[in-house]
C-alpha cells in the first residue's frame, strides 16, 4: 500500500526547491515559515487520517488502475458510493482542521481530466488518456498531493483569451518542439499550491476555434524551472509571526492561496493532456466545476460544524445557552449546515457512469449545492457573530492578557460564567474571529463565494440544465390547458 505518513509527506515537500516570494522577499525554508506551516499541517491531516483504522472506509479506496489501496484524494470514483464517501471524507477533514485542507482541487481535476481525455481520444485519435493514466499511476504509487489549476489572471473580463491585449492573461502554449511544449501565463488563487508535489493545469473557460493555444492541459512538478510562486495575503495573517497561540484563533491549521506564474515553462509531451482541442474545453471546465461544486457540500460543512461548536461553547461561556432566541439561532445554523451536506450527498447519489468508466456527479444538483454554499455559510457566520458578542473583534491582544500589570485586570473583566476561565473565553472568541473574519474566513467564506466559480456561474448552469418546458407541460396538464392522458381510467 502506497500511503505516506504525515511526516513522510512533510519530508517530501521540505526537499523541494522552489521560487517563492512573500512580503517582497524570497523565501527559502517555507515549510517551517510561521505563515506557511499551518497550511502544511492542514494538508498533512489528509495523510494522517488515512493511516487511522477508524477512518479507513472514507479515507482509503482501491485503485481501479493498480488494484492497490490508495488515499481517496488520488482515486477515480468508481460508483455513486465513492462519490458519497468523498463528501463524507471532506466533512471529516473540515471538522478536524477548521480550514481548507487543500487537496480537493487535485482530486476533482483527476476525475475531470480522466473522463474528458477519454472522449478527446475517441473523437480525435489522440493519446492523452493513456498519458494521463500513467501520470495518475505515478501519483497514486507515491501518494502525491496535486494542485489542480484552472483560474487564470484573465485580464479584461469582457474579452476572451484570443482578444486580450496581452495573450499571457490566460496560460497558453508559446512554443512546440519534438520534446514537448512551452507555456506562459499565470494561475491565480491556487489553494495549497506550495503544499503539493505536482501541478495539474486545465483551461479556464470554453474556447473558440481560433483560441487553440489556450486549450492546454498538462502536469509538472513544482520544482520545474520557470515557475514562480507569490504568497497571497489574508486577513490577520501576520498574527502568525507574533508568537503565542491564542490570537491566531486556530492554533495548528490554516489555508493557503498562491499566485503561480508560468514564465516559459517546458512540459514534456508525456505530461500534456490537451493541446488545441477547443471543442472539449467546455466539457473539461464543466465537469471539473461540477466535481468541485460537489466538494463544497462536504468541506464547508465540516468547517461549519466547528463554527457551530464554537458558537455553542460561547453561549455556554457567556451564560446564555438556555435563552430561547440563542437556542433558535444555533438550530438555524445546524439547519443551514445540514442542508448544504444534503445537497452534497444528493448530487453524489444521483451521479452517473461516464464513457471512461469513472463516475460524474449530477451536474444540476452539484450547481444547486454550490449556489447554496455561496449564501448559507455567510448566514451561519452572521449568527455565530451574533451569539458570540462584540468582544471577538474588540478583545485586547494575547500579550496584554499576559502583561504583569494590566493582565490580571483584563482577565478579571473578561470572565463570563464564573466557572469558565478568561483564557478559555478568549480562545473561543479568537476561533470565531478566525473562522468568520480571519485567515480561515478565506477558506470558509470567500471560497464559499468564489471557489469553483462565482455565484453567477452556477446560475448559468442551473438555467441551462433545468427543463422549464417539462415543468410548464406538467402545469398545463394539471390545469386543463392540455389534455391529461395520465387519467385515462376516468
Q: Over the stretch 386-423, which tens digit does the pLDDT of each residue have?
A: 999 999 999 999 999 999 999 999 999 999 999 999 99
28 is catalytic: no
Catalytic residue among 299, 343, 347, 369: 299
Length of the chain: 490
Q: What is the pLDDT of residue 487?
A: 87
99 is catalytic: no
Asked if residue 20 and residue 66 are part of one domain, the reply reads yes
Catalytic residue among 100, 149, 343, 369: 100
The mean per-residue pLDDT over the stretch 23-36 comes to 96
The answer to whether residue 137 is domain-embedded is yes
Asked if residue 255 and residue 344 are part of one domain, the reply reads no
Residue 6 pLDDT > 70, yes or no? yes
The answer to whether residue 488 is domain-embedded is no
**How far, CA to CA in Å, does 380 sit from each of 88, 334, 343, 368?**
20, 8, 17, 18
Contact between 264 and 174 (Cβ < 8 Å): yes
Q: pLDDT band for position 489 (50/70/90)?
A: confident
- How many Å apart are CA 421 and CA 302, to the nearest integer? 27
Q: What is the pLDDT of residue 488?
A: 83
Asked if residue 209 and residue 161 are part of one domain, the reply reads yes
292 is catalytic: yes
The answer to whether residue 229 is domain-embedded is yes
Catalytic residue among 9, 128, 170, 296: 296
**How far, CA to CA in Å, does 236 sit from each of 30, 107, 171, 354, 425?**
19, 30, 31, 44, 20
What CATH number does residue 352 fall under?
A: 1.20.140.10
The mean per-residue pLDDT over the stretch 119-135 comes to 98
Contact between 245 and 251 (Cβ < 8 Å): yes
Q: Which helix (H) or strand (E) holds 218?
A: strand 216-221
**Annotated binding-site residue numbers:** 191
From edge to edge, which strands make up the β-sheet containing 272-275? Answer: 146-149, 198-201, 216-221, 272-275
Asked if residue 320 and residue 189 are part of one domain, the reply reads no
Catalytic residue among 99, 104, 186, 343: 104
pTM of the model: 0.96
Q: What is the DSSP letter of 446?
A: I
Residue 173 pLDDT > 70, yes or no? yes
Q: How many CA atoms lie within 13 A of 251 on its CB side?
A: 7
Q: Which 3 state secondary structure label does DSSP give 235?
A: coil
Question: Helix 281-317 to helix 80-97 angle, to the nearest 10 degrees?
Answer: 40
The residue segments making up the domain with residue 31 are 6-283
Q: What is the pLDDT of residue 490?
A: 74
- How many Å apart are CA 431 and CA 96, to the nearest integer? 14
Q: Which 3 state secondary structure label does DSSP give 7?
A: helix
The answer to whether residue 196 is domain-embedded is yes
Catalytic residue among 119, 198, 213, 257: 257
Contact between 106 and 148 (Cβ < 8 Å): yes
Catalytic residue among 119, 278, 292, 439: 292
180 CA to centre of own chain: 30
- How many Å apart are CA 350 and CA 361, to the nearest integer? 7
Q: How many CA atoms lie within 13 A of 270 on its CB side?
A: 5
Number of domains in the chain: 2
Contact between 257 and 191 (Cβ < 8 Å): yes
Catalytic residue among 119, 198, 286, 447: 447
Mean pLDDT for the chain overall: 96
Instruction: Choose among 283, 291, 380: nearest CA to 110.
Output: 291
Secondary structure, 3-state, 383-394: HHHHHHCCHHHH
Contact between 282 and 206 (Cβ < 8 Å): yes
Q: What is the pLDDT of residue 363?
A: 98
Q: According to DSSP H, which parts of 224-268 are helical?
A: none
**Annotated binding-site residue numbers for FAD:** 191
Q: pLDDT band for position 1 (50/70/90)?
A: low
Question: What percentage of the chain reaches a pLDDT higher than 70?
Answer: 100
Asked if residue 446 and residue 416 are part of one domain, the reply reads yes
Residue 322 phi/psi, 5° resolution? -95, -5
What CATH number does residue 76 fall under?
A: 2.40.110.10
User: DSSP letters of 468-490?
Assistant: HHHHHHHHHHHHTSS--GGGTT-
The answer to whether residue 275 is domain-embedded is yes
Q: What is the pLDDT of residue 382?
A: 97
pLDDT tens sequence across 217-269 = 999 999 999 999 999 999 999 999 999 999 999 999 999 999 999 999 999 99
Q: pLDDT band for position 328 (50/70/90)?
A: very high
The residue among 283, 306, 334 that closes a domain is: 283
- How many Å apart are CA 103 and CA 144, to the nearest integer? 10
Asked if residue 156 and residue 176 are part of one domain, the reply reads yes
Asked if residue 447 and residue 319 are part of one domain, the reply reads yes
Catalytic residue among 46, 191, 260, 374: 191
Asked if residue 221 and residue 354 are part of one domain, the reply reads no
User: DSSP letters of 359-379?
Assistant: EE--HHHHHHHHHHHTTHHHH
104 is catalytic: yes
Asked if residue 271 and residue 148 are part of one domain, the reply reads yes
334 is catalytic: no
Residue 176 pLDDT > 70, yes or no? yes
191 is catalytic: yes
Asked if residue 321 and residue 196 are part of one domain, the reply reads no
The answer to whether residue 483 is domain-embedded is no
Asked if residue 276 and residue 307 are part of one domain, the reply reads no
Amino acid at each position: 500500500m502506497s500511503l505516506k505518513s504525515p511526516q513522510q509527506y512533510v519530508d517530501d515537500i521540505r526537499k523541494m526547491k522552489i521560487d517563492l516570494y512573500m512580503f517582497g522577499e524570497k523565501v527559502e525554508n517555507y515549510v517551517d515559515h510561521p505563515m506557511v506551516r499551518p497550511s502544511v499541517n492542514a494538508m498533512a491531516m489528509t495523510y494522517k487520517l488515512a493511516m487511522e483504522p477508524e477512518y479507513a472506509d472514507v479515507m482509503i479506496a482501491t485503485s481501479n488502475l493498480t488494484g492497490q489501496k490508495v488515499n481517496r484524494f488520488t482515486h477515480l470514483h468508481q460508483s455513486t458510493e465513492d462519490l458519497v464517501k468523498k463528501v463524507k471524507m471532506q466533512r471529516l477533514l473540515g471538522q478536524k482542521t477548521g480550514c481548507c485542507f487543500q487537496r480537493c482541487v487535485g482530486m476533482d481535476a483527476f476525475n475531470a481530466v480522466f473522463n474528458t481525455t477519454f472522449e478527446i481520444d475517441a473523437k480525435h485519435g489522440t493519446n492523452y488518456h493513456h498519458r494521463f493514466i500513467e501520470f495518475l499511476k505515478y501519483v497514486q504509487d507515491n501518494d502525491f498531493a496535486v494542485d489542480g489549476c484552472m483560474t487564470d489572471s484573465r485580464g479584461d473580463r469582457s474579452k476572451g483569451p484570443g482578444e486580450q491585449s496581452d495573450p499571457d492573461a490566460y496560460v497558453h502554449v508559446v512554443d512546440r518542439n519534438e520534446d514537448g511544449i512551452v507555456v506562459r501565463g499565470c494561475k491565480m488563487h491556487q489553494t495549497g499550491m506550495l503544499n503539493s508535489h505536482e501541478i495539474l493545469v486545465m483551461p479556464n473557460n470554453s474556447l473558440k476555434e481560433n483560441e487553440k493555444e489556450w486549450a492546454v492541459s498538462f502536469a509538472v512538478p513544482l520544482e520545474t524551472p520557470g515557475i514562480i510562486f507569490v504568497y497571497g495575503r489574508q486577513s490577520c495573517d501576520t498574527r502568525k509571526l507574533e508568537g503565542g497561540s491564542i490570537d491566531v484563533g486556530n492554533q495548528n491549521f490554516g489555508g493557503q492561496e498562491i499566485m503561480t506564474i508560468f514564465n516559459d515553462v517546458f512540459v514534456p509531451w508525456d505530461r500534456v493532456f490537451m493541446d488545441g482541442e477547443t471543442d472539449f474545453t467546455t466539457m473539461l471546465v464543466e465537469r471539473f466545476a461540477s466535481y468541485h461544486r460537489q466538494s463544497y457540500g462536504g468541506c464547508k460543512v465540516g468547517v461549519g460544524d466547528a463554527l457551530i461548536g464554537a458558537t455553542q461553547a460561547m453561549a455556554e461561556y457567556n451564560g446564555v445557552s438556555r435563552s430561547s432566541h440563542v437556542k433558535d439561532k444555533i438550530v438555524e445554523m445546524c439547519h443551514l449546515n445540514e442542508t448544504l451536506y444534503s445537497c452534497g450527498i444528493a448530487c453524489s447519489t444521483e451521479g452517473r457512469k461516464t464513457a471512461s468508466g469513472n463516475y460524474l456527479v449530477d451536474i444540476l444538483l452539484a450547481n444547486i449545492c454550490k449556489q447554496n454554499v455561496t449564501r448559507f455559510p455567510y448566514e451561519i457566520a452572521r449568527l455565530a457573530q451574533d451569539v458570540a458578542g462584540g468582544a471577538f473583534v474588540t478583545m485586547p491582544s494575547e500579550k496584554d492578557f499576559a502583561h504583569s500589570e494590566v493582565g490580571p485586570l483584563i482577565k478579571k473583566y473578561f470572565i463570563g460564567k464564573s466557572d469558565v476561565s478568561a483564557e478559555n473565553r478568549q480562545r473561543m472568541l479568537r476561533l470565531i474571529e478566525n473562522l468568520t473574519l480571519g485567515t480561515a474566513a478565506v477558506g470558509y467564506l470567500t471560497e464559499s463565494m468564489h471557489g469553483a466559480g462565482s455565484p453567477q456561474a452556477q446560475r448559468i448552469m442551473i438555467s441551462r440544465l433545468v427543463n422549464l418546458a417539462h415543468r410548464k407541460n406538467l402545469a398545463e396538464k394539471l390545469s386543463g390547458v392540455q389534455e391529461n392522458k395520465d387519467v385515462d381510467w376516468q
